[in-house]
């Protein structure tokens, strides 16, 4: 009997009890860690002798980054490294590099093989604004892995970062030991090491993605995410244009890159679609009357209400699974949260320069400013006769 089944058999009160116990454990652990860090901050050159008497009366005060351009350089005991990302060893991406491009593969003895290298990369959000990114094969997002249901695949990952990493195959129903959860299903892939994942593509054609599952709050926000598309063995639907959208958020201060997070001091000031901010985002050319499939993947750490000008779309799949026709909503704005996927279908029945953008309007600026009618999470569908 699986753990899940066992959990289902427990009554509600028992489950709440377990949760409370878990929270208490986390709370205790957090208190100990804060107290230790405070002692170290008070006496950095001495061995703290009376750690237990230092109470965490204002545990978050040290985290108040409001208005300061440079976060403090120490860890503050919160588990979050507040240092900027060290650019040492980063490879500079070509000026025209684009993320999410199809990854080459070859079939060896019946197994489709892909190769990924994880590395630090100087990545160009837009001309004049660079970040220190973590990348798969040098791009943000990483390259698209496109496979067909039922085939056997092997993905060989070489870690050129200075910290361990893993890859999680988000949404895929595959064996647990291939799940890529660092410290749970495998140790992190150490710097300089190579690790191979191998699994059979599940019979769930649709939109998925892959991303780091080690130190993920830093590694994923810095760019370690990429599309994973499962093609059906026998396709029934044909689209004229297909485009995948992966939001990202970036925190850049004084030219330094910090991992963007939903917390004071690390809130983002640059926003990307597929690794670029408007006006450097893609322009997708569509012919009048063509059918378009947009695959929206919640690769970022923030929610984004994405709005399409000029058209309404149908939500034809959610989280990689088809929506029955009778349940397909017609919308022009879709709220994408971290980890979610939506497949959106529309027919381009009107020519024009149509915007697709986040409707949290700070997200359509570059560090608070608009350029050429927008910024950040803005892109254009150019529909011509």
Binding residues (CB under 5 A) for Cu ion: these are 304, 358, 360, 363
Question: Which of residues 116 and 358 has its CB atom nearest to Cu ion in the complex?
Answer: 358
Tell the smallest beta-carbon distance from residue 269 to Cu ion (Å): 13
The strand pairing partners of 230, in sequence order, are: 147, 206
For Cu ion, the closer of residues 173 and 359 by Cβ is: 359
- 195 vs 270, beta carbon nearer Cu ion: 270
Closest by CA to 180, choosing from 216, 133, 147, 131, is 216
Between 37 and 334, whose beta carbon lies closer to Cu ion?
334
| Cβ(330)–Cβ(314) below 8 Å | yes
Nearer to Cu ion, 120 or 363 (CB): 363
CB 140, CB 249: distance < 8 Å: no
**CB of residue 360 to Cu ion, shortest distance in Å:** 4
CA-to-CA distance for 158 and 122, rounded, in angstroms? 19
| Nearest residue (CB) to Cu ion, 17 versus 337 | 337
The minimum distance between CB 307 and Cu ion, in angstroms, equals 10
Q: Which is nearer to Cu ion, 97 or 360 (CB)?
A: 360
Q: How far is the CB of 362 from Cu ion (least distance, A)?
A: 8
**How many C-beta atoms lie closer than 10 Å to residue 99's C-beta?**
29
* 151 backbone dihedrals φ, ψ, rounded to 5°: -85, 155
Q: CB atoms < 10 A from the CB of 47, how many?
A: 8
Minimum CB separation of residue 300 from Cu ion in Å reads 8
For the bound state, the minimum distance from the C-beta of residue 251 to Cu ion, rounded and expressed in Å, comes to 15
* Alpha-carbon separation of residue 214 from 30, 126, 220 (angstroms): 20, 28, 9
Task: Report the nearest approach of Cu ion to the CB of residue 296 (Å).
Answer: 12
Cis peptide bond N-terminal to 141, omega within 30: yes
Range 299-308 burial, b when 16+ CB lie within 10 A, else e: bbbbbbebeb
Burial of residue 355 (CB within 10 Å: 0-12, 13-18, 19+) is middle
Q: How far is CA 295 from the centre of its chain?
A: 14
């Amino acid at each position: 009997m699986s753990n899940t089944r066992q959990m289902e058999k427990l009554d509600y009160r028992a489950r709440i009890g377990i949760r409370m116990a878990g929270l208490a454990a986390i709370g205790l652990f957090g208190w100990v860690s804060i107290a230790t860090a405070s002692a170290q901050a008070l006496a950095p050159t001495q061995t703290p002798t009376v750690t237990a008497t230092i109470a965490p009366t204002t545990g978050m005060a040290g985290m108040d980054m409001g208005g300061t351009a440079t976060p403090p350089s120490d860890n503050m005991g919160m588990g979050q490294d507040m240092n900027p990302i060290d650019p040492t060893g980063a490879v500079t991406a070509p000026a025209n590099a684009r993320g999410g491009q199809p990854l080459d593969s070859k079939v060896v003895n019946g197994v489709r093989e892909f190769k990924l290298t994880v590395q630090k990369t100087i990545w160009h959000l837009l001309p004049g604004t660079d970040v220190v990114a973590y990348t798969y094969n040098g791009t943000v997002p990483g390259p698209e892995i496109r496979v067909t249901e039922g085939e056997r695949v092997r993905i060989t990952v070489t870690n050129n970062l200075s910290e361990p990493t893993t890859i999680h195959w988000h949404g895929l129903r595959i064996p647990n030991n291939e799940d890529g959860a660092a410290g749970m299903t495998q140790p992190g892939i150490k710097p300089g090491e190579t690790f191979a994942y191998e699994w059979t593509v599940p019979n769930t054609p649709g939109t998925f993605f892959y991303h780091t599952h080690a130190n993920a709050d830093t590694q994923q926000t810095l760019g370690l995410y990429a599309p994973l598309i499962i093609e059906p063995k026998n396709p029934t639907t044909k689209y004229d244009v297909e485009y995948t959208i992966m939001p990202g958020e970036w925190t850049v201060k004084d030219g330094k890159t910090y991992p963007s997070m939903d917390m004071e001091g690390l809130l983002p000031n640059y926003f990307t679609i597929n690794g670029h901010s408007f006006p450097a985002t893609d322009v997708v050319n569509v012919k009048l009357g063509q059918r378009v499939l947009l695959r929206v993947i919640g690769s970022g750490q923030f929610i984004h209400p994405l709005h399409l000008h000029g058209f309404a779309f149908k939500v034809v799949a959610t989280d990689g699974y088809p929506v029955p026709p009778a349940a397909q909503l017609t919308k022009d704005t879709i709220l994408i949260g971290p980890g979610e996927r939506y497949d959106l279908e529309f027919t381009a029945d009107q020519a024009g320069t149509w915007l697709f953008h986040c409707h949290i309007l700070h997200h359509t600026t570059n560090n608070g400013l608009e350029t050429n009618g927008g910024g950040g999470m803005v892109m254009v569908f150019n529909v011509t006769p």
